[in-house]
């Protein structure tokens, strides 16, 4: 084992490398979804598909990247030095189609020892609808282009023909090519920095340090888990529906905690669905890992060692692990959020001080219309009206901070900028008081929005999301948060509820979208709430 000082230097170095890759990605990516909402993940994964270091971007990818490396190694057991690999297929290690994953191996002593991995979310990946979310899809081919693990290079050079073929299958080929170049650039920076570290310290020292870093994280994680109450616990979370007529789809977690080990068994979850709420295998693994990570200490490095106490069991053909060719695009939101909620709800009695009540669910709207001021067509995505975060032993939930899978990571745009750019008028956009679940600590409030649509002629809306039937779960006696309530009021017509999985809603000019977004869940008995109501 390297001396403790070298170990400290290398631990710091590995996380600095992933942070630098993230910065490069942020600065060079072309599409808005990457450079503004930071919807991407960066990691170093070793040749045994173990997560070594990860930059903190989108939590829902925390446990997914190692599964992608595993799929890559199945397809390419002997990766080539200097080669660049790509995949997105959820049935080959991916989470959902819009998430492309780039891998470049780092070699030491003519052996691939690490992979520099970059995964951004693309704004479009082809398929039947713009923007990848297709509530009507009943097969994965309707969701977009599938890419099993492929090698993008030949003799170290990118294959232009292959890139052209990929770009020809998406709606924004320039964004696609630009982002792909940024991804490869970021991954190469990771490779160069690891190579410099290898040159400075040697492969033996680096690999020994990695083992020591993983072991240390495991020790720390086990120490934490060891303080939880032993037992077998049940947790359940319920999806509203699948958009194809099936309602109340249940995710069931049976969690056994013994000593410093946790077994999460999702086998009893409901069968898979016809619609895009199904989870891919990697996404299910990632959601469980994320739930576990939320219960540990935020300071604990998120690497394979920290997750060693965790074992995941699930059954193919269920909602959490769909079999092909089921569609899965919504899964990084739903049912990832329900998997997290089921696991944390189950473990709440084992570690009440660490468990947090439910964060809210995602409910997106995309509006496709024409701006009367310019005559130009526009597509607008609703990011405003964020729902509330869950409460915890530390205090009330964050208001308007979002869903489990983004946890305060999704920025909404300026209303002033939005009104300049789109024919929309925000009559009201503020907190929705009372929407957070009651409890000793209350769930964070959601938001209320009254949006006047001032388009030329009718526009069309699509939705994707969940949570109009079920609110964010309260725990330990706390109440659930209020569910979402979205309505459309067209001029001269009665208000019409908007469902979470609709396509082609006609929105006449002068309509109002009235959004009441859900609140977070409450924590603990409401009668134990002190007068001041603050968490500290």
- Residues 334 to 373 in contact with other proteins, rule: CB under 8 A: 354, 356, 359, 373
420 near other proteins, judged by CB under 8 A: yes
Taking CB under 8 A as the criterion, the residue among 127, 369, 390, 483 binding other proteins is 390
| Contacts to other proteins from residues 115-154, by CB under 8 A | none
Question: Which residues in 182-221 contact other proteins (CB under 8 A)?
Answer: 185, 200, 213, 216-217, 219-220
**Total residues at interface with other proteins (CB under 8 A):** 85
CB 507 within 8 A of CB 463: no
195 sits in which H/E element: helix 173-201
Nearer to other proteins, 303 or 329 (CB): 303
Considering only 173, 324, 352, 408, the residue that binds other proteins (CB under 8 A) is 408
Residue 414 as a binder of other proteins (CB under 8 A): the answer is yes
Residue whose CB is less far from other proteins, 1 or 234: 1
Query: Coil, strand, or helix at residue 102?
Result: strand
Q: Are 489 and 450 in contact (CB under 8 A)?
A: no
Q: Report the 10 Å Cβ neighbour count for 220.
A: 17
Among 51-59, 79-87, 243-251, 323-331, the segment contacting other proteins (CB under 8 A): 51-59
Helix (H) or strand (E) holding 23: helix 4-28
DSSP state letter for 526 = G
- 3-class DSSP state of 335: coil
Task: Give whole-number Cα distances, 3 to 12, 14, 17, 205, 314, in Å.
Answer: 14, 17, 21, 10, 41
Tell me the closest approach of the beta carbon of residue 72 to other proteins, in angstroms.
26
Per CB under 8 A, which region of 31-39, 89-97, 158-166, 253-261 contacts other proteins?
31-39
Minimum CB separation of residue 304 from other proteins in Å reads 14
Residue 113 CB, nearest distance to other proteins (Å)? 21
Distance of alpha carbon 494 from alpha carbon 513, whole angstroms: 13
- Cβ atoms 410, 37 nearer than 8 A: yes
Give the Cα separation of 255 and 238 in Å (integer).
17
Q: Which is nearer to other proteins, 94 or 301 (CB)?
A: 301
Among 377, 394, 493, 506, binds other proteins (CB under 8 A): 394
Using CB under 8 A as the binding rule, whether residue 535 contacts other proteins is answered as yes
Residue 367 or 505 with smaller CB distance to other proteins: 367
Q: Are 315 and 257 in contact (CB under 8 A)?
A: no
What gap in Å lies between CA 93 and CA 74, rounded to an integer? 10
25 binds other proteins (CB under 8 A): no
Window contacting other proteins (CB under 8 A); options: 23-31, 73-81, 104-112, 311-319 = 23-31
Helix-then-strand count for the chain, H and E: 9, 21
Pairwise CA distance, residues 131 & 144, whole Å: 10
Report 484-523 residues binding other proteins (CB under 8 A): none
DSSP letter (8 states) at residue 90: G
Name residues contacting other proteins, limited to 251-310 (CB under 8 A): 293-294, 297-300, 302
């Amino acid at each position: 084992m390297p001396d403790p000082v070298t170990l400290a230097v290398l631990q710091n170095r590995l996380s600095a490398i992933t942070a630098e890759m993230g910065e490069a990605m942020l600065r060079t990516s072309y599409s808005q979804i990457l450079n503004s909402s930071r919807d991407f993940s960066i990691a170093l994964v070793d040749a045994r598909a173990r997560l070594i270091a990860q930059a903190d971007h989108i939590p829902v990818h925390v446990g997914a990247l190692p599964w992608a490396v595993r799929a890559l190694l199945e397809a390419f057991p002997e990766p080539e030095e200097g080669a660049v690999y790509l995949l997105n297929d959820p049935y080959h290690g991916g989470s959902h189609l819009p998430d492309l994953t780039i891998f470049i191996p780092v070699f030491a002593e003519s052996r691939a020892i690490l992979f520099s991995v970059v995964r951004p979310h693309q704004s479009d990946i082809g398929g039947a609808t713009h923007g990848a979310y297709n509530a009507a899809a009943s097969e994965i081919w309707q969701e977009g282009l599938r890419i099993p693990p492929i090698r993008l290079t030949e003799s170290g050079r990118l294959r232009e023909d292959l890139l052209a073929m990929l770009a020809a299958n998406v709606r924004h080929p320039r964004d696609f090519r630009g982002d792909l170049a940024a991804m490869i650039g970021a991954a190469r920076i990771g490779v160069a920095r690891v190579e410099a570290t290898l040159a400075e310290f040697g492969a033996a020292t680096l690999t020994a340090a990695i083992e020591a870093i993983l072991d240390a994280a495991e020790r720390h994680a086990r120490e934490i888990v060891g303080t939880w109450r032993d037992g077998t616990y049940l947790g359940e979370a319920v999806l509203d529906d699948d958009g194809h007529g099936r309602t109340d789809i249940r995710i069931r977690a049976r969690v056994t905690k013994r000593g410093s080990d946790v077994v999460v068994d999702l086998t009893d979850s409901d069968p898979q669905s016809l619609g895009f709420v199904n989870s891919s295998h990697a996404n299910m693994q990632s959601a469980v890992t994320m739930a576990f990570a939320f219960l540990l200490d935020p300071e604990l490095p998120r690497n394979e060692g920290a997750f060693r106490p965790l074992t995941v069991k699930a059954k193919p053909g269920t909602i959490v692990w769909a079999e092909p060719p089921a569609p899965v695009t919504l899964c990084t939101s739903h049912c990832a959020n329900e998997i997290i909620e089921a696991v944390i709800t189950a473990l709440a009695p084992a570690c009440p001080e660490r468990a947090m009540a439910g964060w809210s669910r995602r409910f997106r709207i995309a509006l496709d219309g024409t701006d009367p001021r310019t005559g130009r067509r526009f597509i607008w995505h609703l990011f405003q009206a964020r729902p509330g975060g869950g409460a915890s032993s530390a205090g009330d939930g964050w208001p308007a901070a979002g869903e489990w899978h983004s946890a305060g990571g999704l920025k909404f745009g300026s209303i002033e900028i939005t009104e300049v750019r789109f024919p929309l008028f925000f009559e009201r956009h503020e907190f929705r008081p009372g929407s957070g679940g009651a409890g000793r600590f209350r769930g964070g409030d959601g938001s209320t929005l009254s949006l006047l649509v001032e388009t030329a002629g009718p526009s069309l809306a699509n939705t994707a999301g969940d949570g109009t039937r079920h609110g964010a779960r309260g725990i330990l006696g706390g109440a659930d948060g209020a569910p979402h309530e979205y309505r459309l009021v067209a001029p001269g017509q009665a208000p019409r509820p908007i469902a979470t999985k609709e396509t082609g809603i006609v929105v006449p000019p002068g309509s109002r979208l009235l959004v009441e977004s859900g609140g977070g869940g409450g924590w603990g008995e409401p009668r134990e709430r002190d007068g001041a109501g603050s968490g500290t």
